[in-house]
Amino acid sequence: MALTQVSSNKCAGGFQKVFEHDSTELKCKMKFAIYLPPKAETDKCPVLYWLSGLTCTEQNFITKAGSQLAAAEHGIIIVAPDTSPRGCNIEGEDESWDFGTGAGFYVNATQDPWKTNYRMYSYVTEELPKLINANFSTDPDRMSISGHSMGGHGALICALKNPGKYKVTSCRVCVRPHLRPVRLGGGSPSAYDATVLAASYSGPQLDILIDQGRDDQFLSASQLLPDNLIAVCSEKKIPVVFRLQPGYDHSYFFIYSFINDHIKHHAKYLNA
């Protein structure tokens, strides 16, 4: 598959680039951002996949999160895809901010008219890694996944549904996907519900770090339900450290504040 470089900026000693390609899963042109640390010039580096939240594109994370310094320090490639297929001209895709465009939920839709294009789960777990490994200096055995909000939940489900694929996972905020995936038709709610997936997980040991802003408006609105997840993980002995950060909200300011901890969390396994 051909990659077209859209932009390249030197950053923290490495390069922050954006590429475009024709996606076979999503049947449209997709962009993704990739940060190449200085180490990538000489060695194969592990890859951290970052899944952004609702309404984001590949730009938000690379311009607001401040991840490049830590990535350079630990020698990790960070790939940040877009959050949904674009320009597919599906009816209703732009109607609401939390559904359709910019809200792919990282699931494979099973209902029409979404199921042709909205296959973010396969894109993220299958197509994108193959593309990255083929075109960049990567170590294909060292992969991990992280995300924020919708992306945080997406990271969890990718890891839980693919035991052994991701060395470690972390997220800021895991949105409990209430109704959306049902509308996308991602099968039964449990198929892409992190809490449910955790309950039935069996596979190599995970190590999950979750940060949640205490002043996150979604938390107070009960749209995020970390307690359920924690209870299940405790039950199933899935190692999770869940941190409630006082004063922090849902924004990229919150992501920025803890990105170093998360990258260090990933580096522990990716560089072991």
Partner 1 sequence: MAHFLKPWSILSARSSRTEHADQCFQSQNCIRSPECFVQENFGRQEQHLEQHYNDVLQTLSQRYDDRETGLQEEKKSKLESLYKQLVACGQALDTSKELIETAQEVYRCQDERLFLKVAQLGLLRDFFFLEFAKEDIDLSLSTSLEFSTPLADLSDVKTMMDSINVVPAPSAPVINPQLPNSATQTSLHVCWSLFSDDTVEYYELYYRPVLEDTPADSTCVKVKETHCTVTDLLHNAQYELWVTATNTTGISPASEKALYMTVPSPPAIKQRECSSCPEAALIRWESGNTNPVDSYIVELSETGTVGAESNITESIVAVPTCQCLIQLQAGRQYLISVRAVNIGGPSDRSDAITISTTGTFFYLLEDTAHPCLSMSEDGFTIFYGDEELCVAILGDLIPVRGRHYWEVEVDDETEFRVGVAYEDTERDGYLGANGSSWCMRHIRTPSRHKYEFLHNGWSPDLRITVHPVRIGVALDYDRGTLSFFNANLEQHLHTFHCRFHNYVHPCFSLDNPGALTVHNGIQAPDYTFI
Residues with a known catalytic role: 149, 216, 250
Name the token pair of 56: 């984001």
**Residue 113, strand partner residues:** none
CB of 150 to partner 1, least distance (A): 22
Token pair 């405790």: residue = 234
Amino acid, single-letter form, for residue 123: Y
Find, among 155, 198, 200, the residue nearest to 173 by Cα. 155
∠ Cα 10 12 17 (to 5°)? 40
Would you tell me which residues interact with partner 1 (CB under 8 A)? 74, 205, 207, 209, 214, 230, 233-234, 237-246, 264-265, 267-268, 271-272
Name the token pair of 61: 């994370």
Report the residue number, 129 or 213, with the smaller CB distance to partner 1.
213
H runs (alpha helix) in the chain: 58-64, 68-74, 120-122, 128-135, 150-161, 180-184, 194-199, 217-220, 226-236, 252-270
Find, among 168, 138, 152, 130, the residue nearest to 77 by Cα. 138
CB of 129 to partner 1, least distance (A): 24
Report the residue number, 130 or 214, with the smaller CB distance to partner 1.
214
CB of 235 to partner 1, least distance (A): 8
**Cα(58)–Cα(64) distance, rounded to whole angstroms?**
11
CB of 167 to partner 1, least distance (A): 11
Report the residue number, 134 or 241, with the smaller CB distance to partner 1.
241
CB of 140 to partner 1, least distance (A): 22
Report the residue number, 30 or 155, with the smaller CB distance to partner 1.
155
Helix, strand, coil content of the chain in percent (nearest 5) = 35, 30, 35
Report the residue number, 98 or 242, with the smaller CB distance to partner 1.
242
**Cα(81)–Cα(61) distance, rounded to whole angstroms?**
10
